[in-house]
Every structure is written in C-alpha cells, then in structure tokens.
Amino acid sequence: MHQTAVHPIAQTGESLADLAYRQIEELIVTLKLEPGAIVNERALTDITGMGRTPVREAVQKLAWEGLMEIRPRSGIAIAALNPQDFSRVLDVREGVERVLARDAAHYGATLHHKRLKEAADAMGAAVSADDVGGFLIADKIFDIVLGHAAENPFAARLASPLQTHSRRFWFRLQRPGSLQQSAGAHRALIDAIIAREPESAANQASQLISYLRTLAP
C-alpha cells in the first residue's frame, strides 16, 4: 500500500495519537481504507507519517469504536459496511444528539457560537464547491464543538463513534442533493443553538437524524 502521508492541521492541545486517529478515521470514513480490507501497523505508519506508538493508540481507539478489528497475527480489519446497519446507528444516535443539542443551546459560550458559525460557513462553502471531503471535515469540527458546548462529556463520548459511523454511511449512501440537504439541516441546528433555544435545538437534532434516515435502505 503506497500513499502519501497526510498531515491535517493540529488542533490546540492535540497529541500525536489524536492526530493519527483523525487521519485514519478520515481514511475509513471516505472508504479509502475499504470495508473489509486487512491492513497492518506498518502500512498505517506509512500513510500517516506517524510513529508506531501514536498509530497503535489510534488503532486501539478505532477498534473500541467499532471501525476496526484487531486480529492477532493476521492484521487489522477495517469494519464491514452494511447499509442496513445505518438505521440502527441512527436509532441510538438520535437520543444522545438531542441531549447534546439541548445542552449546547443552554450552556454554549460565545466562543462555541463563533466556531459553530465557522463550521456552518465551511459547510456552505463545501456545497458551493461540491466538495464532499471539505464538508466531512466541517461536519467533524461541528461534532467536536457541539460536544464541548454541551458541557456533557458523557454524552459527547457516547455520540462520537456514532457520529463517525454516520459520516461513513452518509459518504457511501449520498445521492444528488445530499450535500445541500445535510448542510441545511446542520445550519438549522446551529441557528437554534446560537439562539439559545434548547427545545428547538433538540427538535432540530431530530430533524437532522430524520434527514439521514432518508438515505438508509
């Protein structure tokens, strides 16, 4: 496997393991690491340009999230992608997403609002450029800021792998108009959070999940 190492801009306080995690997660979400493929640690260090320790930590986290399976003596398997599982992911995600949206509207600070607006603007720019990769990056940033704004680390930790699985399914099942619809649903949710309307934000979170359900088989 020969790919050029990618180096996304590190966020404040981000460790090498965090950076390796984000790179490998993106490769899984965009199916560059194909479902069912078997890779090894050496290949992942080559792709990410990271050392063995941060890559190993990233793999352990991705395995815990259900995106990889560590198979002793045979390698690391990328999780299969069964479209029928998308509805199951969304069933679990909706409840915790409502909690995060409600709490973010209640507790979110000015800095969180600024970053949410930036994420919404990045999504809009991705739609204009028909840039799916750019949209996915903005969506990841939105999820991170949402978790911080909610001040509920328990809900954020539960939501994070569900959000990643959702992005992967969305990438696989998207259709014409999906970028516009997804960006619009996120914008409505962000507007409700910034307006400090907890119940409206929770309902907009459900509307986002309802949109994603339209893509599920």
CATH of the domain at 122: 1.20.120.530
Query: What integer pLDDT is reported at residue 57 of this predicted model?
Result: 96
Q: Are both 98 and 46 inside the same structural domain?
A: no
Tokens 């800095």: give the residue.
Answer: 111
Q: Are both 36 and 110 inside the same structural domain?
A: no
pLDDT in 10s for each residue of the chain, 217 residues: 334 344 344 444 678 999 999 999 999 999 999 999 999 999 999 999 999 999 999 999 999 999 999 998 889 999 999 999 999 999 999 999 999 999 999 999 999 999 999 999 999 999 999 999 999 999 999 999 999 999 999 999 999 999 999 999 999 999 999 999 999 999 999 999 999 999 999 999 999 999 999 999 9
Enumerate the β-bridge partners of residue 69: 77
Q: Are both 89 and 70 inside the same structural domain?
A: no
| The overall pTM is greater than 0.95 | no
Q: What is the DSSP string of 111-130?
A: HHHHHHHHHHHHHHHHHHHT
Start-to-end CA distance of the chain, whole Å, equals 32
The total number of structural domains that make up the chain = 2
Query: What integer pLDDT is reported at residue 118 of this predicted model?
Result: 98
Q: Are both 114 and 189 inside the same structural domain?
A: yes
Helix ranges (H only) for 8-85 are 16-29, 41-48, 52-64
The structure tokens listed for 64 are 């815990």
Structural domain boundaries enclosing 39: 16-78
H helix or E strand, kind and range, residue 69: strand 68-71
Look at residues 78, 94, 124 and tell me which one is the last residue of a structural domain.
78
